[in-house]
């Protein structure tokens, strides 16, 4: 794995204290899940933004997409194609300003890698919380959104969620040894290590099945 000089900035926003991350590399900055009122913090810390990346399409993770697209004219906005509808319309009638993805991760792949400014960005598709829920791997770091948290997992009882998909995703996550030693930055709560949460999958599976 290539060694990168990087800095990870984190700030929580909105009623759900959703983490927005900025991954600062020599090539520029990746913006991950800019939630409600995140835009000014992001603008301040992104002199050379590369792209906005969404782990999934829930409003608290995408709220300021549109403001940042307007400010950083032409910046790529990337999400999984199965969650694009959550960005493109205010499906929960909350006053969300729609945003428009410029690149869609394809649903037929369990993972897809893009190269942006010489940096590999890998989307691992783990549906269940939402149809297009992903973990994003960059430079040996995992941004897990609402799929995996410290000692917990994302809910699968929301509109557009699927307990069946969540179970299958957890089984696949459990077996993904290539990421086991990577730090995992979730959408809420504290940082963890992928291997520690892989060890907890067996605890969560029967609780999803019996939900």
Q: How confident is the model at residue 108 (pLDDT cuts 50, 70, 90)?
A: confident
Say if 2 falls within a structural domain: no
Residues near 161 by beta carbon (within 8 Å), at least 6 away in sequence: 128, 129, 130, 155
CB 39 within 8 A of CB 211: no
pTM: 0.96
- Is the pLDDT at 181 greater than 80? The verdict is yes
Secondary structure (3-state) at 193? strand
- Is the pLDDT at 175 greater than 60? The verdict is yes
Say if 1 falls within a structural domain: no
Q: How far apart are CA 51 and CA 196, in angstroms?
A: 30
Residues near 204 by beta carbon (within 8 Å), at least 6 away in sequence: 153, 170
- Is the pLDDT at 95 greater than 70? The verdict is yes
- How do residues 121-159 score in pLDDT, each as one tens digit? 999 999 999 999 999 999 999 999 999 999 999 999 999
22: domain CATH number is: 3.60.15.10
Domain that holds residue 164: 7-209
- Is the pLDDT at 102 greater than 60? The verdict is yes
% pLDDT > 70, the chain: 97
pLDDT for res 100: 97
**Total domain count, the chain:** 1
- How do residues 26-59 score in pLDDT, each as one tens digit? 999 999 999 999 999 999 999 999 999 999 999 9
- Is the pLDDT at 209 greater than 80? The verdict is no
């Amino acid at each position: 794995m290539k060694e990168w000089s990087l800095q990870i900035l984190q700030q929580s926003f909105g009623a759900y204290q959703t983490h927005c991350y900025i991954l600062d590399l020599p090539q520029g900055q990746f913006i991950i899940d800019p939630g409600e009122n995140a835009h000014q913090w992001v603008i301040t810390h992104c002199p050379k933004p590369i792209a906005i990346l969404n782990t999934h399409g829930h409003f608290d993770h995408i709220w300021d997409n549109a403001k940042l697209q307007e400010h950083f004219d032409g910046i790529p906005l990337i999400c999984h194609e199965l969650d694009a509808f959550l960005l493109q319309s205010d499906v929960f009638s909350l006053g969300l300003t729609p945003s428009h993805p410029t690149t869609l991760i394809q649903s037929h792949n369990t993972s897809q890698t893009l190269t942006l400014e010489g940096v590999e960005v890998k989307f691992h598709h783990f549906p269940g919380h939402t149809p297009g829920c992903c973990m994003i791997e960059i430079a040996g770091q995992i941004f897990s959104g609402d799929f995996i948290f410290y000692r917990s997992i994302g809910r699968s009882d929301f509109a557009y969620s699927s307990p069946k998909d969540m179970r299958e995703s957890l089984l696949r996550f459990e077996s993904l040894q290539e990421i086991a030693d990577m730090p995992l930055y979730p959408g809420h709560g504290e940082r963890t290590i992928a291997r520690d949460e892989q060890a907890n999958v067996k605890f969560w599976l029967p609780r999803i099945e019996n939900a």
